[in-house]
Amino acid sequence: MSRYREAHPAVWLVRHSLIAGTHSVEVRHVGLGMTRRIADPLEWIEGSHLFPMERPIDTARDAAPVV
């Protein structure tokens, strides 16, 4: 991670947030610890990694404050 920060310092000036599906295999594959290091805040919404298509209204409501 530190090499990436050194090569791309401006990227780390932006606050990263993530809305993840509660049943997302992808988030668990990466690991919750790493996900939390990168994303703050981390919000959960019912569904898989395809939750934006499964629950578009809920996704839009939850994403509005961080956009």
Q: What is the pLDDT of residues 31-57, one digit of tens each?
A: 878 777 777 777 888 888 888 888 889
Report which secondary-structure segment, H or E, holds 62. Answer: helix 56-63
Residue 67 has pLDDT above 80, yes or no: no
Can you tell me the distance from the alpha carbon of 6 to that of 60, in angstroms, rounded to the nearest whole number? 34
Instruction: Map out the domains of the chain as residue ranges.
Output: 17-66
Concatenated DSSP letters for 29-49?
HH-HHHHHHH-SSEEEESSST
pTM over 0.75: no
Among 1-5, 24-28, 43-47, the minimum mean pLDDT is found in: 1-5
* Average pLDDT of the chain, as a whole number: 76
Are 36 and 42 contacting, i.e. CB atoms less than 8 angstroms apart?
Answer: yes
